[in-house]
Amino acid sequence: MQRAASVFICILMLLFHFHGTAQDSSMQVEDLYEEQTQVMPAQGILWKISGGNLEVPSYLYASLFVVPKSLFFLHPAMDSLLDQCQEVMMEVDPDKVDPDYLFRSEIPIDSSLEVLMGKKQYKALWKFMENELTEASIRKVIGRYPPLIVQRQIMFDFCLRLRQDQEAIHIEKYLKDALRDVDFSSLNLEWVRSAWLDQYSWKEQTRMLQEGLDKRLESRAAFEGMIRAYRQQNLDRVWFLSQKAPDLGDNKHVLIDLRVSSWKEALTEKMPQKAVFGIIPAVTLPGEYGLLHQLRKQGYRVEAIAY
Answer yes or no: are the C-beta atoms of 259 and 70 closer than 8 Å.
Answer: no
| One-character DSSP codes across 92-130 | S-TTT--TTTT--S---GGGSHHHHH-HHHHHHHHHHHH
Q: How far apart are CA 225 and CA 232, in angstroms?
A: 11
| Model pLDDT, residue 93 | 83
Answer yes or no: are the C-beta atoms of 146 and 202 closer than 8 Å.
Answer: yes
Q: Average pLDDT, stretch 107-125?
A: 77
Please tell me the pTM assigned to this model.
0.81
| Model pLDDT, residue 48 | 97
- Per residue in 63-108, pLDDT (tens digit) is 988 888 888 889 999 989 998 999 999 998 887 765 555 555 555 5
Number of H helices, E strands in the chain: 14, 8
Q: Rounded to an integer, what is the distance from CA 37 to the centroid of its chain?
A: 21
User: Which of the pair, 92 or 284, is modelled with greater confidence?
Assistant: 284
Q: Which of 182-191, 211-220, 247-256, 275-284 has the highest mean pLDDT?
A: 275-284
Q: How far apart are CA 235 and CA 286, in angstroms?
A: 6
Answer yes or no: are the C-beta atoms of 105 and 144 closer than 8 Å.
Answer: yes
Whether the predicted pLDDT of 110 surpasses 70: no
